């Protein structure tokens, strides 16, 4: 009988809270507390209507929760399988467009292929752009070493201080690092640069963002 079940309070209705409440179903009397005005954490699904030859068609698009992978989301994948959530492979890529980055001329590049890296052919002879690419390789090497060594003392300093101490170029910071981090964290850049190095290193290492090979396959909810 429900009266004999223990009472459990779950605080927060993000994926952790909702999954915990779901797992305890039938085993406890659960009360879910949420400070916001909707359940779902940072998820934010909006309906987008697009014209088709057969008339308008609406699609649910989530602007908060985007992708997941088998390496770092095994619990979520198991929950989706239990609930029968339909998923599909996702093509993850990274592109940058920086208007006025070079004296009024826009900079554009993408990491999808060597051709897209040098989508603007003038960058083949741009020492600033080539220095950025060199710094990306150096950044990946340094942060991978920090992640695998669990160098806690080195990872408490703010990101901005870390970039200066490691002598990364302004081009690396403005044309790669901040755009990349901005695609992950929705916050102003000055706040981002105050984050501890550990926050960035662990996330990027766990998700295969600081390595060229052995990157995980990304998936999304269909």
Would you list the DSSP string of 162-193?
HHHHTT--HHHIIIIIHHHHHTT--S-HHHHT
Contact 203/196 with Cβ under 8 angstroms? no
Separation CA 166–CA 179 (nearest Å): 19
Tokens of 80: 């989706």
CA distance from start to end of the chain: 38
Separation CA 141–CA 49 (nearest Å): 44
Contact 203/159 with Cβ under 8 angstroms? no
Contact 108/96 with Cβ under 8 angstroms? yes
- CA-derived radius of gyration, the chain: 22
Contact 31/40 with Cβ under 8 angstroms? no
Full-model pTM: 0.78
Estimate the crossing angle of helix 197-206 against helix 127-149, to 10 degrees. 90
Over its length of 222 residues, how does the chain's per-residue pLDDT go in tens digits? Answer: 456 899 999 999 999 999 999 999 999 999 999 999 989 988 888 999 999 999 999 988 888 888 899 988 999 999 999 999 999 999 888 899 988 777 778 999 998 899 999 999 999 999 999 999 999 999 999 999 998 887 777 788 999 999 999 999 999 999 999 999 988 887 888 899 999 999 899 888 888 888 777 788 899 998
Q: Could you state, in order of their start, the residue ranges of all structural domains in the chain?
A: 2-46, 116-216
């Amino acid at each position: 009988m429900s009266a004999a079940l223990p009472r459990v309070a779950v605080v927060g209705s993000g994926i952790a809270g909702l999954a915990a409440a779901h797992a305890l179903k039938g085993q406890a009397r659960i009360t879910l507390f949420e400070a916001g005005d909707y359940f779902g954490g940072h998820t934010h699904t909006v309906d987008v209507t697009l014209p088709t030859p057969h008339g308008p068609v609406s699609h649910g698009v989530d602007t908060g929760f985007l992708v997941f992978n088998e390496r770092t989301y095994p619990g979520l994948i198991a929950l989706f399988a239990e609930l029968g959530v339909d998923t599909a492979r996702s093509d993850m890529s990274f592109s940058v467009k920086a208007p006025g980055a070079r004296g009024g001329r826009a900079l554009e590049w993408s990491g999808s292929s060597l051709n897209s890296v040098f989508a603007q052919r003038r960058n083949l002879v741009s020492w600033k752009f080539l220095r950025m690419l060199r710094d990306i390789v150096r950044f990946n090497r340094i942060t991978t070493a920090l992640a695998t060594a669990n160098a806690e003392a080195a990872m408490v300093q703010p990101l901005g201080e870390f970039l200066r101490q490691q002598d990364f170029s302004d081009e690396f910071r403005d044309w790669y690092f901040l755009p990349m981090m901005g695609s992950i964290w929705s916050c102003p850049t000055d706040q981002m640069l105050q984050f501890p190095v550990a926050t960035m290193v662990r996330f990027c290492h766990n998700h295969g963002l600081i390595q060229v090979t052995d990157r995980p396959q990304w998936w999304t909810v269909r």
